[in-house]
Amino acid sequence: MAPLVLLQSSDWHVGSPLSGRGLALTEEFRTTRREEVDAAPERLLSASREVRPDVVLLPGDLWDAENVPPALFRRLVEAFAALAPIPVFIAPGNHDFAGPGGYFDDAFLAALGLPAWPGNVTAFRAASWETRPVPGRDDTTVTGRAFLSPLLDAGRPLDPPPVRPPVRFALLMLHGSLESYRGPDAPNGAKRTAPFSKEELVGAGFSWAALGHHHRFEVVERPDGSAAGAYSGSPTGRGLDETGPRHFVKVTLDAEAQPNVETLVADCRQILDVALEAGGRDADGLREAALALLLEAGAAPGDVVRLTVRGRPAAGTRTTHSLADLKGLVAHLVLRDRTISEPEARADRSTAEGRFALDLEARLAAAPDARSRRVAELAYALGREALLGRLPVPPPAEDV
């Protein structure tokens, strides 16, 4: 039999509001980016024409919430219908869950006059594991399950694992939290949903596991280094937890070789989050260093960039003003000034202000993370104002 070619994607979150994600988007650009998020189905269709897969696997969270507009649901249906005769399998996640009264409910669709799911689409609609054949491939099955509500699922879906069917290519679809995942969107503690370990996944013995829920591309490897499965990650960056390139994933399975995993570009732009140490630079020096940093990060004219400047610039340097002209180099630039102004005189431990400054500088240098560093920066700035007899003005609420 011929090798099996898979096209995998998940976590589209169409219908996302794109608010409160740390990027301070203008309303005009937010509208543009929403359309790009919502165009994931059409981009998948384009990718399928390039890849020509035997099957498309979509392990969940295709839309962001159950109140996603019907027009967006129609776009999904139309894109999937255009994929025919390629079979499409969906394992609904905690955002696009398959409970009653939703878009996976045939009676609900009929009542609203919405189109039914195309005949080439198989959506798992039970919380328990089910196995379905792949049309046109007698040697292949897909085993999957569905979330039935948005509630966190503390159960371990792979303990025990579903039974592996006795076929050449046994595919698994799972929406859940890999416990060893360390991406920027990694959930903590009780926020994990349907948790599982790498050992549980590998031990289940499937030919390939298409994983959804985490938003960064990540391959799960077997002890011999071969790929057991992967998260494709979200295909469109929406915030600072979805930085860098976005992907669709092509997987080629051959019984005589290890799985071959390839990524395809899925987004027309990327989100970058970069930081620059002021290092005593003046305005020209800051601008030159920032340009070099953007070049090193691979920033392109269509990208969205958050640039944070930390440390001490040269005395009298207005950081944000110095870098304002960089905004024309990318589609959207957020400048965060986290610098500390140069004191009028060298800190002297014999004075209250000097002791305060030196202590805060030591705390800043030893800060273990971004949040601790920002707390020290604010304490330094506000404390100096108070010690100089000026009324400290707290900054507006901010993300770190």
Amino acid identity of 274? V
Virtual CA dihedral for 257, 169, 95, 272, nearest 10 degrees? Answer: 10
pLDDT at 371: 83
Q: How confident is the model at residue 189 (pLDDT cuts 50, 70, 90)?
A: low
Q: Domain total for the chain?
A: 2
Q: Is 316 left (phi over 0), alpha (psi -120 to 50) or beta?
A: left
The answer as to whether 104 is a domain residue is yes
Q: Quick one: which of 376, 255, 371, 288 has its CA closest to 4?
A: 255
241 and 328 both lie in a single domain: no
Average pLDDT, the chain: 92
pLDDT at 370: 78
Beta bridge partners of 63: 14
**DSSP H/E element including 374:** helix 370-387
Looking at residues 35-46, what average pLDDT do you find?
98
107 and 10 both lie in a single domain: yes
C-alpha 123/C-alpha 115 separation (Å) is: 15
Structure-token pair, residue 267 = 């987004």
pLDDT at 382: 81
pLDDT at 343: 58
Looking at residues 355-371, what average pLDDT do you find?
84
Please say whether the beta carbons of 70 and 46 come within 8 A: no
Name all contacts of 258-263 with Cβ < 8 Å and 24+ positions apart. 258/226, 258/227, 259/207, 259/208, 259/226, 259/227, 261/219, 261/227, 261/230, 263/217
Structure-token pair, residue 46 = 């384009």
Residue 20 has pLDDT above 70, yes or no: yes
Residue 136 has pLDDT above 70, yes or no: yes
pTM, two decimals, is 0.87
The answer as to whether 73 is a domain residue is yes
pLDDT at 345: 46
* Domain end (from 265, 296, 318): 265
Q: What is the C-alpha R_g of the chain?
A: 25
The CATH number given to whatever domain includes residue 68 is 3.60.21.10
Q: How confident is the model at residue 190 (pLDDT cuts 50, 70, 90)?
A: low
Domain housing 332:
271-387
Virtual CA dihedral for 371, 246, 9, 168, nearest 10 degrees? Answer: -100
Q: Quick one: which of 340, 346, 233, 333 has its CA closest to 277?
A: 340
C-alpha 246/C-alpha 248 separation (Å) is: 7
277 and 238 both lie in a single domain: no
pLDDT at 167: 97
Looking at residues 235-259, what average pLDDT do you find?
96
* Domain end (from 216, 249, 265): 265
150 and 173 both lie in a single domain: yes
- Residue that is written with structure tokens 């399975």 in the block: 253
The answer as to whether 396 is a domain residue is no
Lowest mean pLDDT among 58-62, 297-301, 317-321: 317-321
Q: How confident is the model at residue 25 (pLDDT cuts 50, 70, 90)?
A: very high
190 and 327 both lie in a single domain: no
The answer as to whether 394 is a domain residue is no
Looking at residues 13-25, what average pLDDT do you find?
89
148 and 217 both lie in a single domain: yes
pLDDT at 361: 81
* Domain end (from 233, 265, 297): 265
Looking at residues 304-331, what average pLDDT do you find?
92
Cis amide linkage into residue 160, ω under 30° from 0: yes
pLDDT digits (tens, 9 = 90+) for 249-279: 999 999 889 999 999 999 999 999 999 999 9
326 and 366 both lie in a single domain: yes
333 and 208 both lie in a single domain: no
Longest dimension (CA), the chain: 83
C-alpha 158/C-alpha 201 separation (Å) is: 7
The answer as to whether 212 is a domain residue is yes
The answer as to whether 395 is a domain residue is no
Q: Which residues lie closer than 8 Å to 357 by C-beta, 6 or more apart?
A: 343, 347, 380, 384
207 and 276 both lie in a single domain: no
The answer as to whether 382 is a domain residue is yes
Amino acid identity of 229? G
Structure-token pair, residue 7 = 């096209």
333 and 196 both lie in a single domain: no
pLDDT digits (tens, 9 = 90+) for 370-386: 788 888 888 887 887 78
Looking at residues 135-151, what average pLDDT do you find?
96
226 and 290 both lie in a single domain: no
**DSSP H/E element including 366:** none
C-alpha 150/C-alpha 81 separation (Å) is: 27
The answer as to whether 290 is a domain residue is yes
17 and 164 both lie in a single domain: yes
